[in-house]
């Protein structure tokens, strides 16, 4: 099976070299870019399975790069943010990042995140087309498509996986920790708020009332099965 393609974007040559070395040791095909315009050009030419994207970039910052990317791709994106810049993390997630890693970071931690994400993507792609049908929402796990009242809705990879995790057991309340485990993997050790941000994205796209908040506990899928 062909190894995944990864694009690493950072304007620090040392970080590019270090991350590339660790990823290539895992057998991945790695391309790099050192600025925003170069990142967009490489993403369009290389068609990576996953992008590691720094926020602070010359020419065009990572947030703007991601905004452009999300208009044309649902590629999995791990953002690199400064440890103290909490706003960057939330903004990055709000414009479509799937995950983030704070600098300074361990290359082994980043590789572990990459491997977990790609493993989840591969598992999702291997699903055999079960269709979940509800009064208003229909989810095809094979083609990874969603319809609301027969209108197609575009979700990112992480948004789709999160919605599917909830919809596979409609009415059941899932804690944020449980959703992290199901969607990001049991070895995820980022921040729990990524769940809330992505739930917000899904609600804006499919409708607020299909995912209910259970205060102090978590979330549940609220549409009725047909």
> Tens of pLDDT along 144-178?
899 999 999 998 888 999 999 999 999 999 999 99
In a domain, residue 87? The reply is yes
In a domain, residue 226? The reply is no
Rounded alpha-carbon distances, angstroms, from residue 134 to 168, 199, 207, 210, 221? 11, 19, 14, 10, 11
176 CB-near residues (< 8 Å, 6+ apart): 192, 195, 196, 218, 219
Out of 125, 156, 174, a domain closes at 125
More confident site: 94 or 222: 222
CB crowding 9-31: b at 16 or more within 10 Å, else e: bbbeeebbeebbebbeeeebebb
> Tens of pLDDT along 26-76?
999 999 999 999 999 999 999 999 999 999 999 999 999 999 998 988 899
In a domain, residue 18? The reply is yes
- Its pTM stands at 0.78
More confident site: 196 or 188: 196
In a domain, residue 190? The reply is yes
In a domain, residue 55? The reply is yes
Looking at residue 177, which CATH number applies to its domain?
1.10.10.10
DSSP collapsed to 3 states, 84-111: CCHHHHHHHHHCCCCEEEEECCCHHHHH
Out of 72, 103, 125, a domain closes at 125
**In the beta sheet, which residues pair with residue 7?**
31, 51
Name the domain count of the chain. 2
In a domain, residue 178? The reply is yes
**In the beta sheet, which residues pair with residue 140?**
131, 145
User: Does residue 214 share a domain with residue 117?
Assistant: no
Work out the mean pLDDT of the chain and round it to a whole number: 88
Looking at residue 31, which CATH number applies to its domain?
3.40.50.2300
User: Does residue 198 share a domain with residue 113?
Assistant: no
User: Does residue 63 share a domain with residue 120?
Assistant: yes
3-state secondary structure at position 51: strand
Q: Is the dihedral of CA 176, 179, 184, 188 positive or negative?
A: positive
Q: Which structural domain range is residue 75 located in?
A: 5-125
For the chain, the first-to-last Cα distance in angstroms comes to 39
User: Does residue 120 share a domain with residue 9?
Assistant: yes
Highest averaged pLDDT of the listed ranges 3-7, 116-120, 125-129, 193-197 = 3-7
**In the beta sheet, which residues pair with residue 220?**
212
In a domain, residue 210? The reply is yes
User: Does residue 85 share a domain with residue 187?
Assistant: no
Burial label, 198 (beta-carbon count in 10 A; 0-12, 13-18, 19+): buried
Looking at residue 10, its pLDDT comes to: 96
Could you tell me how many helices (H) and strands (E) the chain has, helices first?
8, 12
| Cα distance between residue 146 and residue 31, in whole Å | 32
């Amino acid at each position: 099976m062909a190894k995944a393609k990864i694009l690493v974007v950072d304007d620090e040559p040392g970080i590019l070299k270090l991350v590339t070395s660790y990823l290539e040791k895992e057998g991945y095909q790695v391309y790099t870019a050192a600025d925003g315009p170069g990142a967009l050009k490489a993403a369009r030419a290389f068609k990576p399975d996953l992008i590691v994207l720094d926020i602070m970039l010359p020419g065009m910052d990572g947030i703007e790069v991601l905004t452009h990317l999300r208009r044309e791709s649902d590629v999995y994106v791990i953002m690199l943010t400064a440890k103290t810049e909490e706003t960057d993390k939330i903004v990055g997630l709000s414009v479509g990042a799937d995950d983030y890693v704070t600098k300074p970071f361990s290359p082994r931690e980043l590789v572990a995140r990459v491997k977990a994400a790609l493993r989840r993507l591969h598992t999702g792609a291997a699903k055999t087309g079960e269709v979940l049908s509800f009064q208003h929402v229909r989810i095809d796990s094979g083609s990874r498509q969603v319809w609301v009242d027969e209108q197609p809705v575009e979700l990112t990879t992480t948004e789709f996986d999160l919605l599917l995790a909830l919809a596979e057991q409609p009415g059941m309340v899932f804690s944020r920790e449980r959703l992290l485990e199901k969607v990001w993997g049991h070895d995820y050790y980022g921040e729990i708020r990524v769940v809330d941000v992505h739930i917000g994205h899904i609600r804006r796209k499919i409708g607020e009332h299909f995912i209910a908040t259970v205060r102090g506990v978590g979330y549940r899928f609220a549409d009725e099965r047909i």
